[in-house]
């Protein structure tokens, strides 16, 4: 199995971390689709990472779909998503909020980095930041005891952890430490885990 995408991509990083936690052996192709858009389009119809290439050549796209495949692969006893009920829904919702924050933050970053300065539309960028902040507020408000779903680490913690680490490097204006104390604490506890340290966030 091969995971394609580099660790600057938080969507890719959360998969690499989950695969390490679950002991799923895999190779890695540290692709930047910015540097090599043709390779991106070769492996994914919409040219994005992450992509998980299975041993028979089948390719899965979308980090949520890839994680769903991995949870099915390892089975319910090892899954990083609770099996049913409110805790499962909470886990999936928290994951959706974390990736929603990323979607908005990445769009705000692209607004500045991918456009000539005179074409950046500041009101739109501000709207994206407001949306990302809304998601951060929801994540910050969620209880942690010690993890978001209680005693055990789930994909909700991993997704929130990689999101905050990414923002601290790429969009620090959005995440001053004093504004998000619980998320900073969660992020630091996540980054202290061996599986996170095995896949450190790249700097651009
Ligand atoms: N919803 C997708 C988002 C993936 C995504 O946006 N990846 C970024 C890298 S962080 C990318 O490939 N961007 C290139 C582009 O959109 O052109 C997922 O969860 O996998």
9 touches ligand 1 (CB under 6 Å):
yes
d(CA 48, ligand 1 centre) in Å: 5
Q: Do the Cβ atoms of 135 and 173 come closer than 8 Å?
A: no
166 touches ligand 1 (CB under 6 Å):
no
What pLDDT score was predicted for residue 6?
97
Residue 202 resides in a domain = no
Q: Is the pLDDT of residue 124 over 90?
A: yes
d(CA 102, ligand 1 centre) in Å: 9
What pLDDT score was predicted for residue 142?
98
What's the CA gap between 108 and 175, in Å, rounded? 14
Cα atoms in the 13 Å half-sphere on the side-chain side of 89: 2
48 touches ligand 1 (CB under 6 Å):
yes
Tokens 């997704």 sit on residue? 159
DSSP 152: S
CATH number of residue 26's parent domain: 3.40.30.10
What's the CA gap between 203 and 67, in Å, rounded? 24
d(CA 151, ligand 1 centre) in Å: 31
**C-alpha angle 5/160/124, rounded to 5°?**
80
Count of the separate structural domains present in the chain: 2
Q: Which atom of ligand 1 is nearest to the CA of 48?
A: 12
Residue 203 resides in a domain = no
What pLDDT score was predicted for residue 64?
98
Q: Which atom of ligand 1 is nearest to the CA of 64?
A: 19
Confidence of residue 38 (pLDDT cuts 50, 70, 90): very high
Residue located nearest, by CA, to atom 12 of ligand 1: 48
Q: Is the pLDDT of residue 204 over 90?
A: no
Residue located nearest, by CA, to atom 1 of ligand 1: 62
Residues 116 and 32 in one domain: no
What's the CA gap between 162 and 175, in Å, rounded? 13
Residues 25 and 94 in one domain: no
Q: What's the average model confidence in pLDDT over 66-90? A: 98
What's the chain's average pLDDT?
Answer: 97
49 touches ligand 1 (CB under 6 Å):
yes
In terms of DSSP bridges, do strands 51-53 and 59-61 run parallel, antiparallel, or are they unpaired?
A: antiparallel
100 touches ligand 1 (CB under 6 Å):
no
What is the span of the domain harbouring residue 14? 2-74
62 touches ligand 1 (CB under 6 Å):
yes
CATH number of residue 112's parent domain: 1.20.1050.10
Residue 191 resides in a domain = yes
């Amino acid at each position: 199995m091969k995971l394609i995408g580099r660790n600057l991509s938080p969507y890719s990083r959360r998969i690499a971390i989950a695969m390490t936690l679950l002991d799923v052996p895999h190779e890695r192709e540290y692709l930047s689709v910015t540097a090599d858009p043709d390779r991106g389009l070769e492996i994914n119809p919409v040219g994005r990472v992450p992509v998980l290439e299975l041993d028979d050549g089948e390719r899965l796209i979308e980090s949520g779909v890839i994680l769903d495949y991995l949870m099915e692969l390892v089975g319910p006893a090892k899954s990083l998503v609770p099996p049913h009920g409110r805790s499962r829904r909470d886990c999936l919702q928290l994951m959706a909020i974390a990736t929603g924050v990323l979607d908005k933050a990445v769009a705000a970053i692209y607004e500045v980095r991918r456009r000539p300065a005179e074409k950046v539309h500041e009101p739109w960028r501000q709207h994206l930041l407001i949306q990302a902040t809304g998601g951060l507020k929801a994540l910050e408000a969620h209880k942690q005891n010690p993890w978001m779903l209680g005693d055990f680490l789930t994909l909700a913690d991993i997704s929130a952890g990689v999101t905050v680490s990414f923002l601290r490097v790429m969009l620090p204006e959005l995440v001053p430490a004093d504004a998000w104390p619980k998320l900073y604490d969660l992020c630091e506890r996540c980054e202290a885990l061996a599986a996170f340290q095995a896949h450190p966030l790249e700097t651009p």
